[in-house]
């Protein structure tokens, strides 16, 4: 460090490069993420709620309140994240690195499952596999005369399957993006040196993509352990509890203190896992792989395995996209799930109010609640995606360029915190945080702003993660040269980082849009009747026994999500290098 010229410029002595930026980012994250959570922790230490800690951690209640759900939660997290990395990694490898047939189709289909709300996938599972354990309605398969065993109809096995088939596309997106940017120089050098496919995989591709694998694994882990709808729908009939269903149950019956304690413990436990993952990534040296030069390597020839591997991929893709979609679509017309494909009626879509049918609820086309919810949901998706992308870019840029120091570490940790907080707890925290007036600021409860702010904060990890994967790979040397020629921070951001990172940012934006419009757990507590969103309406209809309305709304959410994705991929057709030939 050259001290003298810096002294000449006064303030530079105190502000190391990037410190101001870091402070701004930290402040944003504090306001968005940390304060609501602190508010929750403070809540549990009030005199009348502090006893909840004892109830949860020791004593006669603790086994059922905490330790058993904890076991289930960890099991789900471990198996689902492993399964997702294997499945997502396999598909990403097929699409990006090999000459498997219909690569584009596989690539597009692998990103679809994430658009299907996990509660919809769980409902679809029930529609198909439900057995007569709870009597009454049976699923389609049992309706055909097959006997569905309990372990396949309810509990941990279906939960694991549904969640893996849901979250693997997250792993796919991350791993494919990383594979697509593997520097061809490295691969070609290896090929010239005579290395074979396996050697290239183990020696170059795996090490370079390890950060992506770890990131994918930890994101899937965090998603799986905080998922509420799937274990609630598939586990509750056999009394399988996870920490998130337990938390929901506690808040639902007004035992908010215990609920928050469970939520805090969930944050701490999964925090330990994510911290380990992060530590692993940050501890590595720079892995910039997009440089100013380089092209794409030759594809790996699968030879005779082309079609068999294609079939394997399609089994998973069909099971996770087409099947649930057909089931949802069919059951939005079918009067009962055992007879999914007969006696169809269009009432749930275009019927007018008829007092003798479904308590007089009109079909969703004539339903004012649903129309309003549609408008609110779309506006929410756009606002959250835009705001999320902006903050996500700022955060990922800051941590990528100024990686050292405790402020950067804090930024990384803060921005990932929401992942560890079940949506329902995050929603509850936001009600505690902005539900009452703060000084001169009015309470935001029931306002659109509250939904936008909470949604942005809640999904920040995803925008940051996507931005980060790309920005860290935009080689620092490009920006370095711009700085040498005198470009300021904003100029560098606008002319170099954003254009190069636009793929990651748009992908993040779409991811966020789709995630928020089909999110249930976060908005289920923030929802007020005057500010309705689609997913909550769907869930309400489902829990009141109007499965057809729920499924019809879910189909609408699905269509919007797919249209959004297709539109976006059209807009950025050039920036999906893993689909290029």
Partner 1 sequence: MNISKLARLGVAGLLLSTTGLAAQDLDTMSVAELLPLAEAEGTVTVYSFTSRIGKVEAAFEEAYPNIDLQGFDISSTEQIARLTAEAQAGVTNADVVYVSDAAVVLSALLEPGIIGPYVPPRVADRVPAEFQSPLLAQRLSTKVLMYNEEANPDGAPVDSLWDLTREEWSGRVVMVDPLQRGDYLDLMTEIVLQSDSMAAAYEVEFGSAIELGDAANAGEKFIMDLFANDVILVGSTDDVNAAVGGLGQENPPIGFTSYSDRRDNEEEGWALQVANDVAPAPGIIFPAVLALSAEPNSPAAARLVIDFLMGDETETGGPGLAPFYVAGDYLTRSDIAPHPDAVALDDFTAWRVAPASTAEIRAEIGDLILTLQ
Q: Which residues bind partner 1 (CB under 8 A)?
A: 55, 60-61, 63-65, 132-137, 232-233, 236-237, 239, 241, 249-255, 336, 353, 355-357, 359-361, 431, 435-437, 442-446, 528-530, 540, 543-546
> Six-digit token pair at 126?
């029930």
Query: Residue with structure tokens 């795996």?
Result: 206
Output the smallest distance, CB 368 to partner 1, in A: 8
Of 295 and 529, the one with the shorter C-beta distance to partner 1 is 529
Give dist(CA 469, CA 501) in Å, integer: 9
Is residue 493 within 8 Å of residue 18, measured between CB atoms?
Answer: no
In whole angstroms, what separates CA 350 from the centre of its chain?
Answer: 33
Output the smallest distance, CB 138 to partner 1, in A: 9
Output the smallest distance, CB 233 to partner 1, in A: 7
Output the smallest distance, CB 152 to partner 1, in A: 16
Output the smallest distance, CB 75 to partner 1, in A: 17
The interaxial angle of helices 448-471 and 156-180, nearest 10 deg, is 50
Of 252 and 477, the one with the shorter C-beta distance to partner 1 is 252
Output the smallest distance, CB 369 to partner 1, in A: 8
Give dist(CA 150, CA 281) in Å, integer: 41
Output the smallest distance, CB 239 to partner 1, in A: 5
Of 133 and 299, the one with the shorter C-beta distance to partner 1 is 133
Of 282 and 359, the one with the shorter C-beta distance to partner 1 is 359
Of 485 and 530, the one with the shorter C-beta distance to partner 1 is 530
Of 172 and 527, the one with the shorter C-beta distance to partner 1 is 527
Of 20 and 144, the one with the shorter C-beta distance to partner 1 is 144
Q: What is the DSSP string of 491-556?
A: HHIIIIIHHHHHHHHHHHHHHHHHHHHT--TTHHHH-BTTB--HHHHHHHHHHTT-HHHHHHHHHH
Of 449 and 571, the one with the shorter C-beta distance to partner 1 is 449
Give dist(CA 263, CA 247) in Å, integer: 6
Give dist(CA 244, CA 264) in Å, integer: 11
Q: What is the DSSP string of 45-60?
A: TSTTTTHHHHHHHSST
How many residues can be counted in the chain? Answer: 581
Handedness of CA 297, 303, 307, 310 (dihedral sign): negative
Of 28 and 65, the one with the shorter C-beta distance to partner 1 is 65
Output the smallest distance, CB 116 to partner 1, in A: 20
Give dist(CA 317, CA 325) in Å, integer: 12
Q: Give the closest residue to 226 by CA, choosing from 238, 243, 240, 214.
A: 243
Of 89 and 117, the one with the shorter C-beta distance to partner 1 is 117
Phi-psi region of 254 (alpha: psi -120 to 50; beta: other; left: phi over 0): left
Give dist(CA 430, CA 453) in Å, integer: 9
Output the smallest distance, CB 560 to partner 1, in A: 24
Give dist(CA 2, CA 391) in Å, integer: 33
Give dist(CA 28, CA 463) in Å, integer: 15
Is residue 538 within 8 Å of residue 560, measured between CB atoms?
Answer: no
Q: Give the closest residue to 107 by CA, choosing from 317, 278, 394, 417.
A: 317
Of 253 and 311, the one with the shorter C-beta distance to partner 1 is 253
Output the smallest distance, CB 114 to partner 1, in A: 25
Output the smallest distance, CB 434 to partner 1, in A: 8
Of 16 and 137, the one with the shorter C-beta distance to partner 1 is 137
Output the smallest distance, CB 326 to partner 1, in A: 23
Q: Is 524 buried (19+), middle (13-18) or exposed (0-12) by CB count in 10 A? A: buried
Is residue 294 within 8 Å of residue 183, measured between CB atoms?
Answer: yes
């Amino acid at each position: 460090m050259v001290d003298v010229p810096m002294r000449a410029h006064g303030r530079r002595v105190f502000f190391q490069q990037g410190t101001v930026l870091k402070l701004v980012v930290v402040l944003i994250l504090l306001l968005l993420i940390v304060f609501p959570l602190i508010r929750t922790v403070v809540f549990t230490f009030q005199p009348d709620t502090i006893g909840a800690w004892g109830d949860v951690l020791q004593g006669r209640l603790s086994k059922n309140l905490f330790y058993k759900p904890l076991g289930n939660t960890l099991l789900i997290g471990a198996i689902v994240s492993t399964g997702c990395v294997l499945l997502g990694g396999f598909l990403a490898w097929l699409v990006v690195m090999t000459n498997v047939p219909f690569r584009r189709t596989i690539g597009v289909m692998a990103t679809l499952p994430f658009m299907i709300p996990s509660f919809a996938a769980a409902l679809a599972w029930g529609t198909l596999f439900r057995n007569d354990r709870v009597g009454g309605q049976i699923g389609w398969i049992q309706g055909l005369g097959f006997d569905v065993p309990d372990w396949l109809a309810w509990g941990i096995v279906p939960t694991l399957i549904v969640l893996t088939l849901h979250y693997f596309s997250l792993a796919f997106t991350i791993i494919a993006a990383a594979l697509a940017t593997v520097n061809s120089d490295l691969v070609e050098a290896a090929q010239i040196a005579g290395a074979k496919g396996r050697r290239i995989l183990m020696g170059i591709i795996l090490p370079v993509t390890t950060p992506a694998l770890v990131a994918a694994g930890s994101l899937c882990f965090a998603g799986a352990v905080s998922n509420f709808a799937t274990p609630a729908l598939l586990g509750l009939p056999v009394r399988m509890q996870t920490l998130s269903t337990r938390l929901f149950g506690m808040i639902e019956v007004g035992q908010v203190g215990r609920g928050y304690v469970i939520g805090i413990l969930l944050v701490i436990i999964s925090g330990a896992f994510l911290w380990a993952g992060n530590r692993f990534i940050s501890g590595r040296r720079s892995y910039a792989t997009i440089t100013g030069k380089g092209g794409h390597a030759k594809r790996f020839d699968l030879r005779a395995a082309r079609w068999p591997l294609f079939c394997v991929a399609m089994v998973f893709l069909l099971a996770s996209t087409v099947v649930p979609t057909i089931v949802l679509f069919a059951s939005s017309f079918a009067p009962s799930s055992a007879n999914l494909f007969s006696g169809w009626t269009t009432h749930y879509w275009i019927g007018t109010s008829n007092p003798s049918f479904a308590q007089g609820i009109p079909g969703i086309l004539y339903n004012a609640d649903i129309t309003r919810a549609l408008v609110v949901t779309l506006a929410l998706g756009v606002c959250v995606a835009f705001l999320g992308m902006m903050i996500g870019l700022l955060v990922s840029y800051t941590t990528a360029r100024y990686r050292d120091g405790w402020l950067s570490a804090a930024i990384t940790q803060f921005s990932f915190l929401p992942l560890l907080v079940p949506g329902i707890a995050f929603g509850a925290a936001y009600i505690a945080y902005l539900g009452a007036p703060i000084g001169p600021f009015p309470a935001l409860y029931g306002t659109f702003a509250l939904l936008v702010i909470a949604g942005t904060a809640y999904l920040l990890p995803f925008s940051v993660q996507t931005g980060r994967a790309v920005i860290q790979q935009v080689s620092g040397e490009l920006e370095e040269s711009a700085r040498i020629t005198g470009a300021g921070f904003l100029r560098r951001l606008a002319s170099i980082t954003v254009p190069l990172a636009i793929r990651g940012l748009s992908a993040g934006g779409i991811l966020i849009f789709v995630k928020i419009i089909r999110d249930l757990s976060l908005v289920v507590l923030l929802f007020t009747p005057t500010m309705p969103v689609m997913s909550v309406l769907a869930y309400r209809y489902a829990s009141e026994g109007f499965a057809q309305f729920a499924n019809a709304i879910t189909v609408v959410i699905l269509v919007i999500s797919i249209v959004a994705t297709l539109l976006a991929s059209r807009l950025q057709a050039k920036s999906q290098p893993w689909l290029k030939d």
